[in-house]
Amino acid sequence: MNYDVIIVGAGPGGIFAAYELTKRKPEIKVAVFETGHSLENRKCPIDGKKIKSCISCKTCSIMSGFGGAGAFSDGKYNITNDFGGTLHEFIGKKEAIELMEYVDELNMQYGGEGTKMYSTAGTHLKKICLQNKLNLLEARVRHLGTDKNYIVLQNFYNTLKNKVAFYFDTPVSDIRKKEDGFIVSAKNGEHFCKDCIISVGRSGSSWMENLCKKLDIPTKSNRVDIGVRVELPAEIFSALTDELYESKIVYRTEKFEDNVRTFCMNPNGIVVNENTNGIVTVNGHSFEDPKRKTKNTNFALLVAKHFSDPFKDSNGYAESIARLSNMLGGGVIVQRFGDLIRGRRSTEKRVAENVTIPTLSATPGDLSLVLPKRILDGIIEMIYALDKIAPGTANDDTLLYGVEVKFYNMQVEIDNDLQTKLKGLYVIGDGSGVTHSLSHASASGIYVARKITE
């Protein structure tokens, strides 16, 4: 088949690119190829009864399919240049914010209306954080919630399905440059397009790396974030979460001067498993629906690790640590903070007697056997720092799940149009290594669609 534009990947980057292309040029012929299933066929087999942990499906329904990695996420769209990616370095701060605001408007039109926008602007919490060596980053955040996020995706699909050719369960295996465009090889044959947008996210990172090697597109990689997911009674963090919902707080450790940050905060949420290339790590989300809310809040504490020459495989480093936790715990390990501090493992009995009841069934164990000292020391320091602004954070009963890893795709060399050195080949979203969030990935899709239709 011949298309004007082929989009590889139906995550937020790909969806918003398809939306903007067809909105600006209704006559344009667009196809989207997606490894995963259509939205209604995405179903993780873990039901907590028959199947309790990850069985490594051929295509992971959590990470792949219409909606991408964000489909069952908490749907937190942060409007900020302070975190979530470095799109602003390519397109400018003002335009990046305008595009994120436009994405927010569309989300509201497509089913997100009535959801709350939180903001750090003018909050007294900024001062309290600073007085305790904590830096609260500036942002507005729209919290769609997992259920509303799903409805928004459904509505986008219903609008797009008549304008765009969607091929689900159809991974793209190769892209070749031709004089006037590209040949895209997929399970269902070869297709031609003038412009190609690659938006393969984190799950497509190895494929992206191989393609860059083959097409001689330069890449670089040197960062990974490693840490734990903290779970505690929602009341302990309510002063922050009631006002801000999600607070991104950075702490600089005294011992190593490393940055530790809070990430992906889920008030009244649940802790979940995440499978990346067969390695089980931990994540979390929460629901907008009051019936599905829990009594706990969870968030990640992550330590950023930047490596310098000669070491290049930062993701491999984090994968080895995650594999170690899988080896010891058969999956994710959970430990009470009190047990960690006393230098002993948590046991089934101690977890069963704990005040904070875990929302994820994980193996009680000892995180000090898994996490490198430097990282663990940083996490412990930050828990004590957070205890000053949210007393109770450092209680014995606070649960730590490990490990949580934030993998960063290697950064693909692209210009300010997000175009590779091959004219007409664009790389957007998390697959480019430039974005790491729903809002930045979505904004990058809109940006490239506008460049192409210009």
Residues that bind ligand FAD (CB under 6 A): 8-14, 33-36, 64-65, 68-70, 73-76, 78, 84, 171-172, 199-204, 207, 264, 274, 283, 285, 429-431, 436-439, 441
Quote the least distance from Cβ 60 to ligand FAD, whole Å: 8
What are the φ/ψ torsions at residue 453 (nearest 5 degrees)?
-75, -20
Q: Least separation, in Å, of the C-beta of 133 and ligand FAD?
A: 26
Rg for the chain (alpha carbons), in Å? 21
Q: How many CA atoms lie within 13 A of 299 on its CB side?
A: 27
Least distance from ligand FAD to the Cβ atom of residue 391, Å: 27
Judge contact between 36 and 169, C-beta under 8 A.
Answer: yes
Omega before 310 within 30 of 0, i.e. cis: yes
Residue closer to ligand FAD, measured from CB, 79 or 340 = 79
CB of 316 to ligand FAD, least distance (A): 19
Nearer to ligand FAD, 351 or 414 (CB): 414
Pairing between β-strand 134-136 and β-strand 249-252 as defined by DSSP bridges: antiparallel
Q: Could you tell me the smallest distance in angstroms from the CB atom of residue 156 to ligand FAD?
A: 13
Q: CB-wise, 299 or 337, nearer to ligand FAD?
A: 299
Residue 171 vs 364, nearer CB to ligand FAD: 171
Our CB check for ligand FAD shows the closer of 346 and 442 to be 442
Minimum distance from CB of 32 to ligand FAD (Å)?
A: 9
Instruction: Tell me how far, at minimum, the Cβ of 310 lies from ligand FAD, in Å.
Output: 29
Q: How far is residue 36's CA from residue 68's CA, in Å, rounded to a whole number?
A: 8
Q: How far is the CB of 292 from ligand FAD (least distance, A)?
A: 16
Spatial distance between the Cα atoms of 217 and 422, rounded to a whole number of angstroms: 8
Which residue number, 378 or 429, has a Cβ lying nearer to ligand FAD?
429
Nearer to ligand FAD, 11 or 424 (CB): 11
| Least distance (Å) between residue 75 CB and ligand FAD | 6
Residue 272 near residue 282, CB atoms below 8 Å: yes
The Cα–Cα gap between 72 and 253 comes to 33
In the complex with ligand FAD, the residue whose CB is nearer, 78 or 247, is 78
Please, what is the minimum distance in Å from the beta carbon of residue 215 to ligand FAD? 14
CB closer to ligand FAD out of 286 and 398:
286
| Identity of the residue, 84 or 331, whose beta carbon is nearer to ligand FAD in the bound complex | 84
Nearer to ligand FAD, 375 or 418 (CB): 418
Taking the complex as a whole, how short is the minimal distance between the CB of residue 76 and ligand FAD, in angstroms?
4
Which phi-psi region, left, alpha or beta, contains residue 161 (left: φ > 0; alpha: ψ -120 to 50)?
alpha
Please state, in angstroms and rounded to a whole number, the distance separating the CA atoms of residues 11 and 73.
12
Instruction: Please give the span between the terminal C-alpha atoms of the chain, in angstroms, as a whole number.
Output: 24
Per the structure block, which two tokens stand in for 422? 């091959």
